[in-house]
Structure 1
């Protein structure tokens, strides 16, 4: 009787372990999660992306975790704006995202950008922001270079509860951020999070 109980116990533990491994693997694959009426999607840049630099420029998608896929996700997110885009970012050099901002502006979306005073002195950032300003998109910076404007978040259509969404994380909107750094970004329509970030953006915009 004891050996039978032992066998059953071992089998049960094995089945449980296999189930937990499968569940964890499935969770890793499923980067898009819904929680009631809200959703969140996690994008993580790590070693699996370190060979993806050419894919960003050749439009060559290597797999579902490719840096190009991540870039297209961010492009689609920004291009979905109907009312407003509030972008607060330390560094912006991704030409494709700059293009989406310009296209959104042309269709009447109100766009405001907050960025870092130190980074604007660098040639790539300066060129991108100059393009935005020439097309009537305003941007602001912190008053002093003694501190950095180190935020990375973007609010989309925050005035409308049905449309509102955002992304935030450690990722700078640069090609290096998408293929060379250990970084992350979360996309969500959680209104509580959006409200808090919206308050922060408005405070900074009025301050600068």
Structure 2
């Protein structure tokens, strides 16, 4: 065998060895990744997904308004991974998506509301017969850019300024809370008593109402519903359907809300 042939043989052998090592590493990588994925529950509310699905309404989420797009994962009992994606555009979309998911009631306790986009979505919810109550701080209710005057134009949206002598600095909302749902059902039943004939169909029988399965959740954090906060500030919002947490926020909301309607 001459030197040229020996060089070709050595080169071919080296190439084969390198290729086999690369193939082995690729095999291990993909095999282990597949095995890992098969044992890991994929969360339905992946926050890096552009389409947010709220199916079973079991929610444990964190929305972070930050400068950079960063992905990281946190553990939420019972052993569920929640992927957090910090992107201002995506998080604005997520925040509004959660608000729009209200099916029956929306209770808002917010220091400041200046976002016209959020105000529009609140109005649309009211037009869909979602019962909306809003408590805002009395000093911030009618400042420039505030959306409160606009929201008060609609009779189906109830707005109150905080009657407390201390600053109302809360930033939370409750979607489909049990107490609010109970209140809505009582008001609905009372209205039906006053308008029995309108509730009868052509056959003279009362149509059966469709029961919607709803589960309450709350959003709370540092974020005011303002464009400034969402675009320029570092803010955080925790979203959870944990029943005990929802109950505590409902209790706080009821302590601030002054009942003006006849609820029997």
Query: TM-score, length-normalised on structure 2?
Result: 0.55
* Partner-residue secondary structure (3-state), 1:117: coil
* Partner-residue secondary structure (3-state), 1:73: helix
Contact 2:58/2:241 (<8 A) preserved = yes
Question: Which one is further off, 147-156 or 161-170?
Answer: 161-170
Question: Which one is further off, 90-99 or 175-184?
Answer: 175-184
1:194 aligns with 2:194: no
Contact 1:156/1:166 (<8 A) preserved = yes
Measure the CA separation in 1 of the matches of 2:167 and 2:108.
16
Structure 2 counterparts to residues 57-206 of structure 1, below 5 A: 65-125=86-146, 128-136=147-155, 137-143=157-163, 147-159=166-178, 162-206=214-258
Distance apart, 1:47 and its partner CA: 3.0
Which residue in 2 is equivalent to 1:47?
67
Any idea what the Cα deviations from partners look like across 1:101-157, whole Å, max 9, x if unmatched? 1001001010000001111231111xx11111111111111236x532100000000
**Greater helix content:** 1
Query: TM-score, length-normalised on structure 1?
Result: 0.69
Structure with larger RCO (C-alpha < 8 A, sep 6+): 1
RMSD over aligned CA atoms reads 2.3
Which residue in 1 is equivalent to 2:4?
none
Measure the CA separation in 1 of the matches of 2:124 and 2:259.
28
Distance apart, 1:162 and its partner CA: 4.1
Q: Per the alignment, do residues 48 and 40 of structure 1 end up closer, same or farther by CA in structure 2, a change over 3 Å counting?
A: same
Distance apart, 1:207 and its partner CA: 8.3
Any idea what the Cα deviations from partners look like across 1:51-102, whole Å, max 9, x if unmatched? xxxxxxxxxxxxx532121111111111111110000001111111111110
Measure the CA separation in 1 of the matches of 2:217 and 2:234.
24
Query: How many corresponding residue pairs?
Result: 158
Measure the CA separation in 1 of the matches of 2:59 and 2:105.
20
